[in-house]
Amino acid sequence: MKRAILAGGIASVMGLGILFLGCPPKKATLGEDVAKAVYVPPGQYDEFYAFVSGGFDGQLLVYGLPSGRLLKVIPVFSQYARNGYGYSEETKAFLMTSHGFIPWGDLHHPELSQTDGVPDGRWVFANENNVPRVARIDLRRFETAEIIEIPNSGGNHSSPFITQNTEYVVAGTRFSVPIDVTTGELKDVSISSYAENFKGTITFIKVNNDPNYRGEDKMSIAFQLLVPGFDYDLAHCGKGPSHGWCFFTSYNTEQAYTLLEANASQNDKDFILAVNWKKAEECVAQGKAKEYPATYYHNYYDEKKHMAISSVKKSVKVLTPQDCPGVAYYLPTPKSPHGVDVDPSGEYIVGGGKLSADLPIHSFSKMMKAIENKEFEREIFGIPVLKFEAVNHCLVPKACLGPLHTEFDDKGYAYTSCFVSSEVIKTDLKECKVVDRITVYYNIGHLMIPGGDSRKPWGKYLLAMNKITKDRYLPVGPELHQSAQLIDISGEKMRMLLDFPTLGEPHYANGIHADVVKDKVIGYYDLRENEHPYSIKSEAEARVERRGNVVHVYMSSIRSHFTPDNIEGIRVGDTVYFHVTNLDQEFDIPHGFAMMGAENANILIMPGETRTLKWVPKKPGVYPFYCTDFCSPLHQEMQGYVRVSPANANVSLKWGTGKSL
Ligand code: CUA
């Protein structure tokens, strides 16, 4: 612990220690060792990508490890003014839902795609907790490629966890809701009828893994499993021997609907729900699921057209446990568990019993035996409750206070975040013994080891995502960013390496070795393949077309001018669409486009891409526009004018670059 505090960068403590103890200079090298461990020299790459959730800012953050450098913000569920995501005409469709256009979302859990239980670097999935949705981010582009809405759900929290070969993405509801199966809408009932009317759902999203399928509409809802009206918190699917099963923590088995902090903390044990998805597939194939009406959006990117497209789905298959015996079992687990994490061998299922000091570890092989021997204590809604003793491998005694989430290294150890006692503990899974602990600053939520929820963790670093930041950085007023800490887990003892602030509120992260991803990432789009309906391939095609009160500007950008850069003949009452195609064909040469008075963000146009900004001028005048991204020494010259005349004016439509109109 002392070592951890020293290494944590409290230099004054270290200095005093040296002063009072009269230590030889050797002691001072401690900081140097730590600095070396996270130092990535200028021009060199980090060893790992870390995908960290932005929480209430709705975005996905990409950090490099071990440096902690922020590499990219990928907008997913929230509008992002930096590049026009959710503002440009091409990306608005991503944010369409059955509730209308939703400009903000709460992104909680990034999950990398896997093949044979190992992160494969194709995609990252991410959930939206508020308006239930799941997104897929393409790691060739590091951009959102697809978003599907989840019907019959309220608070899509135990999501988006994947099966061993990304066959499915699972999404469990946090809040149970009164589902009207005849309309697919929420019922108008008394809240106090919770026990009678409210149900949860576990959604199985099928993923098209065919490498020859080029479309980005890769996700579809295969079926939903109806489950009792509890809260479903987190999930992980089995691997190796437990492949074919997914596990979900549930709390509020008390079915409280008010003052949950007291009323949902009554039971000593809540449950981990084990779902046999291969069994569910069988039952669905046998026609045992019912087709219910449901309205939900499926939005995906057409890469050729550089445009997101929405479609509306109208029904969903729902399977009830009573109609499919053997599809699900409850594993009693103390107490209001948060995380449920399956170790790399696929045998141990660790629950994060956040109100318990003992860390519960269940055994998959014991669970299978208990099912075979029908060691049930009761049944809820057609789901047998297995006896605790029959499934539990051990309770790690006095592990820590507030265990939340566990990840694993490649040497048989589990690392668990402990919110209340602000520490990470290292546990020998087989021996059920805590072998090391390290203090974190402060109140850690989730933690992440690259590959730490897969069959092959890279057991070198652990990222602690802490909820409380105060006094770690220079004061910046009452609102602080959250804070992450990097811990070296390569040795017997954990070692604190680095603090760095994070954007939004990271809830969860996934990491992957850079070698799996970096060589597949593209640098620009091939202009010849751009099939955007308003794209142009050369300046010669640039033009302005009026269709009634709608004006389409087919514009190009190239270092360092727009074509056209002078436009006259726009009238008050017109709606003007600037379709800007970036003709440059070189990595890292985007252009921006901003129009004075546009009630919008700017747009950032990648090389070979087309983006559209909508502008409704309100008053006559001459309005400047310009490139917002410093693209060349003549960036500041990259500008133009649009003349707007009164609604009844007869100024003819003219445009050009390099000539007087
Ligand atoms: Cu183009 Cu600045």
* pLDDT tens sequence across 216-260: 999 999 999 999 999 999 999 999 999 999 999 999 999 999 999
User: Which atom of ligand 1 is nearest to 590's Cα?
Assistant: 1
User: Which atom of ligand 1 is nearest to 636's Cα?
Assistant: 2
Q: Is it the case that residue 608 has pLDDT exceeding 90?
A: yes
DSSP 3-state of 173? coil
Ligand 1 centroid distance, CA of 487 (Å): 41
Helix, strand, coil shares of the chain, percent, nearest 5, are: 15, 45, 40
Q: Determine which residue's CA is closest to atom 1 belonging to ligand 1.
A: 591
pLDDT band at 72 (very low <50, low <70, confident <90, very high): very high
Residue 627 Cβ inside 6 Å of ligand 1? The answer reads yes
Ligand 1 centroid distance, CA of 556 (Å): 12
Of 637, 513, 619, residue with least CA distance to 64: 513
Burial of 341-363, coded b for 16+ CB within 10 Å and e otherwise, reads bbbbbbbbbbbbbbbbbbbbbbb
User: Which atom of ligand 1 is nearest to 591's Cα?
Assistant: 1
Residue 625 CA to residue 539 CA, distance in Å, equals 18
pLDDT band at 488 (very low <50, low <70, confident <90, very high): very high
Q: What is the DSSP letter of 387?
A: P
pLDDT band at 353 (very low <50, low <70, confident <90, very high): confident
Q: What is the mean pLDDT of the chain?
A: 94
Query: How many CB atoms are closer than 10 A to CB 15?
Result: 11
pLDDT value of position 336 = 87
The residue with tokens 């230099």 is 11
C-alpha triplet 506, 510, 516: angle, nearest 5° = 145
| Rounded-to-10 torsion of CA 590, 596, 602, 605 | -30
- CA 377 and chain centroid, separation: 37
pLDDT value of position 30 = 60
C-beta separation of 615 from 578 below 8 A? yes
User: Which atom of ligand 1 is nearest to 559's Cα?
Assistant: 1
Mean pLDDT of 495-517: 96
pLDDT value of position 27 = 46
